[in-house]
Structure 1
Amino acid sequence: MEALSLEAIAALYRVPMSTVSRWLSRTREQVAEATTRQLCERLGVSAASVDSIAARVLSQVDLSLARLLGPAR
């Protein structure tokens, strides 16, 4: 997969970068909503519970990364 900058995507589609930014933002929201909905269905919990679980997982990832990378310089 090739990573493209906002500028490159805008040029490719011949639209302003702000349009690309809105597209990406909307897509992120849709992915988050779909993920939450599916987790609620599979786990049988509320959206608030899914949000709480996700926050807990992310905090653990942050802690693991901090431990892996060592002290800030």
Structure 2
Amino acid sequence: MAGGQAEISCSCEPDLFIDGLSCCDQTTAHRLARLGLIAAARPGKCGERVPALLTEAGSQALGEVLPVAA
């Protein structure tokens, strides 16, 4: 997501796309969105793809799993 290659669809069950291709595990993509770990970077019309971002909660979750080397 940091490279700007991720998109998310604007819907109640958003789909995730990487490099224009649908993520192969949309169930996980839906869960990440419901948990607030990923989100749309800007508003969009229903069904529109917009840039996806890692939320603060998502960044903290990754920090717990993948600590930054000192």
TM over 0.5: no
Structure number, greater radius of gyration? 1
With a CA cutoff of 8 Å and minimum separation of 6, indicate the structure with the bigger relative contact order.
Answer: 2
TM-score range, shorter chain: under 0.3
Greater strand share, structure number? 2
Greater helix share, structure number? 1
TM-score (norm. length: structure 2): 0.27
